[in-house]
Amino acid sequence: MGSGFSKRCPKCGFEFYSHNGVGFLFPKVYAETVQLAKSGKLGNEIQDFFKNHEDGVINTESVTLCCDRCGHLSNGKDLTMYVPKDNKPEKIKHGRWSVAMPYEGAKYVAPWDLKEGFEKYALYAHSCEKCGGEMRIVKDDEELLCPECKIPMETGHIIMWD
């Protein structure tokens, strides 16, 4: 399940769109993202995490990111790293993911699995593509400022998807 929104600056007209959460392709996205992380394409920190924690998992939900330095907004994956609670690997069995994309037998960890069987190990360090600053995950109800004017943006459309 996911949500989305559009924001617009009333002063300069800057627009930003975001879709957060998970969708029909989540099992596939999870597997592809883990593969990228293990290959080092998402940075050394997350690659080392998987080398040192064979039973480690990540959150691959789509999120909105905001740079703390310049205010740049972007969309990305959460990528928070988790280890099983009590250092015991969880045997997670999933049935059919959705009627549109079944992924029967696919190996993935859904967002609700993280809450029940895992504990947070480390946040992923998102970097701003504009200035190199640290980006943080924006909360759903957080007010967003225009990266240009630094004033609150107005909410346009809000959607729920999947």
Judged against a pLDDT cut of 70, whether residue 19 lies above it is answered with yes
Q: Please give the angle made by the CA atoms of 40, 88 and 106, to the nearest 5 degrees.
A: 55
pLDDT of residue 97: 53
Mean pLDDT of 20-35: 86
pLDDT bin (cut points 50, 70, 90) of residue 65 is very high
What is the rounded distance in angstroms from the CA atom of residue 160 to the CA atom of residue 1?
8
pLDDT value of position 81: 97
Q: What is the mean pLDDT of residues 93-103?
A: 54
Task: Provide the mean pLDDT of the chain.
Answer: 87
pLDDT digits (tens, 9 = 90+) for 35-61: 999 999 999 999 999 999 999 999 999
Determine what percent of the chain is predicted with pLDDT higher than 70.
86
* SS3 of residue 57 by DSSP: strand
The better pLDDT of the pair 88, 71 is held by 71
> CB–CB of 38/32 below 8 Å?
no
What's the pLDDT tens digit per position in 108-140?
A: 787 878 888 899 999 999 999 999 999 999 987
pTM (2 d.p.): 0.85
Whole-angstrom Cα distance, residue 56 to residue 89?
9
Residue 51's CB is within 10 A of a number of other CB atoms, namely: 12
Q: Give ∠ CA 79-76-112 in degrees, rounded to 5.
A: 50
**What does the alpha-carbon distance between residue 94 and residue 104 come to, in Å, rounded to a whole number?**
7
Virtual CA dihedral for 87, 116, 140, 46, nearest 10 degrees?
A: 20
The domain limits of the chain are 20-140
